Structure 1
């Protein structure tokens, strides 16, 4: 799927979703959040996709709410629900979703990023939640940020609206990795390969359990975990891990044997 405001491409198990309003620094309007919701719906239904990379075209990841739209017509009634439908799809889909951030990541850009499972940020990026300066609160960030960072930091970022230094963002867990750049062979690609190597079935069930951890009583969470554990135990990932372990045991036994020519690994 490709629209005027969202580009969607696929390379094997990786889908790349690009916000495509570079002339507006990928600011969010009704068309973009609608196209984003539709593209994410398509991705969620594609069982061949394991990892989704969300990024922005041009000089920014996303500059947040389109202030030209606000000045001209205000906030259209369908905008906010559509935006949250898109962000919720990211949180609930059985995929790992990575925000690849460069340039400006403001307001709705931060809201989009914290809905993702991981955040990789290029050096020089600017992160902030400045909605308070427009007389608004930043959407559902007051809901998501306390769960991600704790209430104290969330309160500071939401109510002050100041830029968040990247080193601080990484230290507190708002950012997972800071890399020199997002394009070209380098650290960014190595991180993507690392995420692709995560056993997929366990990852998506772990994602679900963490997403519901703050609202679900322990007993219900435990019952859900038993169901999901059974699915993991039936997965090819567990079978491969068991085969690898058996092969390692044979190798260690051979190394420890008198004819093995080695002294073993001490395990």
Structure 2
């Protein structure tokens, strides 16, 4: 599986065939690339541990939009270039007055874009995951961390609200733990984060790439249509009465029943093999259209 390495581009042993990697924005503070059906959003300020500034917020929002629009990518990985995921707010930018309302709106737009994306979004975390870095990780569906990763918020200590975390953190770790992290601003280890459910997996630093490859392959085992609906319904479950959602759930279920993925799952069952959902097929080949095409070919 070709993947951008932490220096940008692809590792020499993992280089994709020509045309398989698309660089959406070169030289930005966050960029989007895709290779082999995987999208990669990378924060590209390694000299300042991927600290957040106005340009990064703008570029991240654009990268999230590019990932959503990329029909070739079903899994999207968010990572930081260098030795940190993100150390949080750029204090130099904050003291210089370049962090303003436009920054916060773009930042929240970027996080919402990741959370609302109809794809699986995985955070690959190494080193510092602090402040806005933790907010960014929380906007992802799944979080893989190295054993040396450090987590924390700290916004209230600097006179700010952890805006990207207050609406997500309690859903992930519970209200009590969320208050502890957001109000006391302690840093915690990867093992502590795993224990409270803040991350899904912890691996040795040297095994991040291998662990990430396993997570990506696991994500590909699910049918894209069913996974997309399930992700959205899980998010909506926090503010939706199950009795009021029956029409929506049934409509989504019928969309799954009509999809090409259901045909593939049934065929795989009959043939005693695992279903193959990737690469996804275009919509025109799904449902009855696929059956009619098969009849004509026969």
Corresponding position: 1:210 with 2:234: yes
SS in 2 for 1:130: coil
2:114 to 61, 66, 90: 90
Decide whether the 8 Å contact of 2:156 with 2:183 is kept in 1. yes
Provide the C-alpha distance between the structure 1 equivalents of 2:272 and 2:212, rounded to a whole number of angstroms. 31
Q: Is the 8 A contact 2:58 2:107 kept in 1?
A: yes
Distance in 2 of aligned mates of 1:213 and 1:37: 25
Q: 1:146 aligns to what?
A: 170
Counterpart pick for 1:12 among 12, 16, 36: 36
Query: Which residue among 225, 231, 242 is the counterpart of 1:201?
Result: 225
Residue 221 of structure 1, CA deviation? 2.1
After superposition, the Cα gap between the structure-2 partners of 1:184 and 1:168, relative to the gap in structure 1 and judged at 3 Å, is closer
Q: Is the 8 A contact 2:40 2:79 kept in 1?
A: yes
Q: 2:296 corresponds to which residue?
A: none
Tell me which residue corresponds to 2:125.
101
Per the alignment, in what secondary structure is the counterpart of residue 123 of structure 2? strand
Aligned counterpart, 2:248: 224
Candidates 176, 182, 187, aligned match of 1:163: 187
| 2:145 and 2:208 in contact (8 A); partners too | no
Q: Deviations over 1:3-31 (max 9, x none)?
A: 42122221121011110011111111110
Equivalent position SS for 1:54: strand
List aligned pairs for 1:20-99, cutoff 5 A. 20-73=44-97, 75-99=99-123
Match of 2:146 among 108, 122, 127: 122
* Structure 1 position 236, deviation (Å): 2.2
Q: Does 1:245 align with 2:272?
A: no
Quote the Cα distance in structure 1 between the aligned partners of 2:150 and 2:209: 23
> TM-score w.r.t. structure 2 length?
0.79
Corresponding residue number in structure 2 for 1:178: 202
Change (3 A) 1:53 1:98: same
When residues 188 and 43 of structure 1 are mapped into structure 2, their CA distance, relative to the original with a 3 A threshold, is closer
8 Å CA contact 2:49–2:84 kept in 1: the answer is yes
- State the distance in 2 between where 1:231 and 1:34 align: 34
Count how many residue pairs are aligned between Structure 1 and Structure 2. 249
What is the TM-score normalised by the length of structure 1? 0.88
Displacement, 1:135?
Answer: 1.8
Taking the aligned partners of 1:34 and 1:245, their CA distance within structure 2 comes to: 46
- Worse-superposed segment, 58-67 or 184-193: 184-193
User: Which residue number corresponds to residue 25 of structure 2?
Assistant: 2
Flag structure 1 segments of 5+ consecutive residues without an equivalent: 250-267
1:147-174 Cα offsets, whole Å, 9 max, x none, are 1121111111100110122222112211
Structure-1 separation of matches of 2:207 and 2:97: 37
